[in-house]
Amino acid sequence: MPSEQEKAARRVRVTAAKDALSRSAGLGGAHVPPARAALKNFLRQLNEPSQPNDAVFQVLIDAPFREIPVRSQQRR
């Protein structure tokens, strides 16, 4: 049975993930759909025993809002 501290941490993560999904709904770019899919997958797997650590979770939350730098195709 999870402790109250674990439940509170889980609630914070769920709220943050749902907020990131709602804020990224209108964004465009090739990086947005995979990032949103990762957030949805996180929410689907809340009851799984293995959860991402805080650093990985922060990357999941920030991913829809970070543009991937475009590499130059020119080689010198």
> Per-domain residue ranges for the chain?
32-67
Report the C-alpha dihedral over residues 43, 11, 64, 53, rounded to 10 degrees: -80
| Longest Cα separation, the chain | 60
- Quick one: tokens of 27? 């964004």
pLDDT band at 4 (very low <50, low <70, confident <90, very high): very high
* Cβ partners under 8 Å of residue 14, min gap 6: 43, 46
Q: Per residue in 11-66, pLDDT tens?
A: 999 999 999 999 999 888 888 999 999 999 999 998 888 888 999 999 999 988 88
The whole-number pLDDT of residue 42 equals: 93
| pLDDT at position 37 | 94
User: Which residues fall within 8 angstroms of residue 51, CB to CB, at 6 or more apart?
Assistant: 57
pLDDT for 67 equals 78
Residue 71 or 39, more confident:
39
